[in-house]
Chains A and B, each alone.
Chain A
Amino acid sequence: MNDTAISDALAEASASRHPVTLRAGGVFSGMHRRVIDADEIDLRSRRAIFEYEPRDLTIAVECGLTGAQMEQTLREHRQFLPLDAPDASQASVGGILASAWSGPRRHRYGRPRDLLIGSSFALSDGTLARAGGMVVKNVAGYDLSRLFVGSMGTLAVLLRANFKTLPLPESARMFLAALPAGTRERAFAQVRNLRPEPAAAWWITGYEREVDGEPGDDGRIAILLECENALLERATLDWRATLGRAGIPETRLLDAGAHASFTRMLDAPMRLPGVHALSYRSPSLPSHALALADSLAEVVDRFEMQRDLLVDIMNGDVTIRAIGDAASFNQMSGMLDDALHDRAPRARILAGGGDGHDRLDCFGLLPNALAQMRALKARFDPHGILNPGIAFFDGRHT
């Protein structure tokens, strides 16, 4: 569908008060509720690179473009955009923005919203409008582009997104290490103080089939170094020495496979081994992340489910996956959900839950500014036609 067709579809939906829902890659569909009885606006064919001037380090794309296509385009010019989306061959730029997805490299390069410099969009009545532009600094008016980040398609339909791009680091190297007993806290602290700063770093237990690294008594760590060639070997020596002081005698290095290893880290929490599983992510301060991870692990253990944990060392996110058995999962998932939210009120479901997903608290603690968000929703979508019921903006979720 082109802009005009989307505008017409929205105008018609608005006039008839008939809801519409947006279809793109579906990668983030587990992070919100399902929209029922709505006409579908399919954005998957909207994958054009609208404007790209590599010398300006900016790009404008249609929002159906996938993360992988974006990466491929930019890589040809030795640039990148750290969207860090799971399942990048399917995840669309629009989905990444609408779900406010942010990945493990955000502490270093920023979140997708930090690199967003403009957008064009269709309002609920079909009006086409835009905000921002193709310059890297712009304070002319309100930042509507970023307002739509996290909106789950409830305020407007994002048509195009403009980003500033970054020079691609010359080298990438993944460091993998099993942690001997009693080294986890020291390792965590040392990783946060490494120089040069890691591009991403995780502490992991479980996920043994999905992500790289040999398990140790205290779990394992994976650290991504991205830097210039001139720095690579000296940084490797320094990092190994620092990790050695934390009691980690060996680290395995992946060079050619670093990118693939990183991708597996991104994908793992969204991939479930069947329907009897749930994956959650909770934001946390880095200083509290390990304690939160232990607390959530204790909850899952109490339910006698298999668990996998990923802790984002640099940003503090804790991701936990619980896998139950067919006989008891549906019965237990509600109680598990309650118990996890008792310990991590801001935990959000990433994927899973099967048929019971809509009975679970997929969002966790609602934002303090809920009233302001609902007022915006009412103003921008007065007839409630955009993705009704997908989240809490229209008051259907309490």
Chain B
Amino acid sequence: MLIERLIEALGADAVKTSPEDLACYSFDAYSQGVLPSAVVLPTSAAQVSAVVKIARDLEEPLIARGSGTGLCGGATPLRAGVVLSFARMNQLLELDIENRRARVAPGLVNLQLSERIASTGYFYAPDPASQRASTIGGNIGTNAGGPHCLAYGTTVNHVLALEIVDERGECFTTAVEDLGYDLTALLVGSEGTLGIVTSAWVRLLRMPSTTGVWLAAFQSIESASEAVSAIVGAGIVPTALEMMDATIVRAVESAYAAGYPADAAAVLLVESSGEPEEVASADAAIARIARAHGATKWQAATSADQREALWRGRKGAAGAVGRIAPNYYTQDVCVPRTRLPEMLAAVDDAARKHGIVVGNVFHAGDGNLHPLLLYDKRDARQVAAVIEIGNLVLARAVELGGTISGEHGVGIEKRNGMSMVYSTEDLAAMACVRDVFDPQALLNPEKIFPSGISCREMRA
């Protein structure tokens, strides 16, 4: 019945049911789930609406999916249902440079937006590491960040308005300028559990006059992280402030020859944008702080090619790690910036105790860490150790006043970790929101919330 109705509504070409097709949509970058009942490729909000109505009639779960690059299992089906792939809703729908905005379909790949408007002198700021593959719809689902959100903010700061199909299949819109509750902010980062985004107006920024990129090398990761705290503490907010440890530097140099000093224990990649005087001032101030914290090298990229090479190394770091270990697991936590040295020490300590190699590559300026735990999944001891280290990292981040997810989302992976950060009352308030938007819990079910959490009735 489900398949027939979907085909009737969308046409056979838009409904995939072969085992091979279903298998492709049974996992994302985090985990393997179960085979969905069907995969649909809508081309319009009206088709999304039709799919939602059919699924609702038949009580089938709905899982919206961008490119499946999510690292927390947010797009993984857990009890069959219908996967909505936005691969065919990938257009730049409107470009309004005069008002510095664009309307995009959810399946538009993040980087393609900036590439397509590059000649206008504007760009779209959120730049998750996955931006060559991940979609803006998926980025909205997780409130994605990226290296440059240090200066520009995360996805929620760049979404101006949304068109949403709700759990009944009805369409509604929200806008930051709207009166009343900020539903736009609520929907960004809700991981497809409150509605399905069918288009978005996003903010465009003017390209800066000048951009400087520098690399600082340190003899220890502690001194590098203290330099980061000192830079931010001095009131300097570069456009990006990224850190890589020795494991990552060696992997990156081996893969890309990005120009990183292979003998460094830690490397900071710093970018500052603005007017030439501002960039020169940042150069002087940050170099001074870096040297005061033991930097052995302060190197400026003197050409666009050099800037690109330095960034290529950073953005390809996770891929490079694939060359030195059969498997790796990426953790994502965020702590107050002054607690970075303690957090890094905790990661190192946990990894050493469990005999696991760790590589750190992360958004240091935001306090957003991404320890990559290297392991071999054929070795049960290593798998268990990685799980244990991941939990220790989450716990320590919370102890230090941080959170269990800075930018990857909660999905399946961190559902139970939510109770580490929030009380039952906090989670029940969130569950009430879920209950309002999706009372049947058909939109991406079994994500975000720990089991047993539900919207309780307000006390009488």
Q: What is A's interface to B at a CB cutoff of 8 Å?
A: 11, 14-15, 53-58, 77-79, 100, 110-111, 113-114, 123-131, 133-144, 146-151, 155, 166-168, 195-197, 227-228, 230-231, 234-235, 283, 285-287, 316, 346, 348, 363-373, 375-376, 379-383, 391-393
Contacts and interface: CB of A to CB of B under 8 A. Distances in A.
A128 B426 CA distance: 8
A137 B179 contact: no
A382 B457 CA distance: 9
B237 A135 contact: no
A248 B432 CA distance: 56
Main secondary structure of the interface of A (DSSP, over half): loop
Given A56-B337, A130-B426, A231-B277, A135 B181 contact: no
B275 A231 contact: yes
B429 A57 contact: no
23 contacts: A55-B233, A114-B153, A127-B458, A127-B459, A129-B425, A129-B428, A129-B429, A133-B403, A134-B336, A137-B145, A138-B334, A142-B186, A146-B156, A195-B209, A196-B278, A230-B278, A366-B180, A368-B174, A369-B178, A372-B166, A372-B183, A372-B436, A382-B458
Interface of B: 96, 98-99, 142-143, 145, 149, 153-154, 156-157, 166, 172-183, 185-186, 188-190, 194, 206, 209, 229, 232-233, 235-237, 274-275, 277-278, 280-281, 334-338, 363, 366-368, 401-410, 414, 417-418, 421-423, 425-430, 432-437, 448, 455, 457-460
Nearest to A58: B336
Given A55-B338, A140-B414, A367 B274 contact: no
B358 to A, nearest CB: 21
Contacts of A126: 459
B149 A137 contact: yes
A139 B153 contact: no
Contact of A79 (B189, B235, B436, B437): B235
Contacts, number: 254
Given A55-B229, A125-B459, A135-B335, A146 B410 contact: no
Given A55-B338, A114-B157, A142-B448, 4 more contacts: A15-B460, A125-B459, A126-B459, A227-B275
Nearest to A11: B459
Contacts of A142: 186, 189-190, 194, 430, 433-434, 448
Given A55-B232, A142-B189, A137 B422 contact: no
Given A53-B338, A139-B406, A196-B275, A78 B209 contact: no
Contacts of A141: 410, 418, 421-422, 426-427, 430, 448
Contact of A234 (B143, B277, B366): B277
B200 to A, nearest CB: 15
B405 A140 contact: yes
A197 to B, nearest CB: 7
Given A55-B232, A139-B143, A139-B406, A133 B401 contact: yes
Contacts of A11: 459
Nearest to A380: B432
Given A137-B363, A137-B366, A150-B179, A78 B235 contact: yes
A140 B335 contact: no
A144 B429 contact: yes
A348 B277 CA distance: 41
B334 A135 contact: yes
A287 B403 contact: no
Nearest to B404: A140
Contacts of A133: 401-403, 421
B179 A366 contact: yes
Contacts of A369: 172-174, 178, 180, 183
Nearest to B417: A140
Contacts of A367: 174-175, 178-180
Contacts of A57: 232, 235, 237, 337
B418 A230 contact: no
A14 B367 CA distance: 41
B130 to A, nearest CB: 14
Given A137-B145, A139-B189, A140-B421, A56 B459 contact: no
Nearest to A55: B233
A150 B237 CA distance: 29
Contacts of B280: 230
A391 to B, nearest CB: 7
Contacts of B404: 140
Nearest to B435: A379
A377 to B, nearest CB: 8
Given A135-B406, A144-B429, A197-B206, A167 B185 contact: no
Contact of A135 (B188, B401, B410, B436): B401
Contacts of B145: 137
A149 B177 CA distance: 12
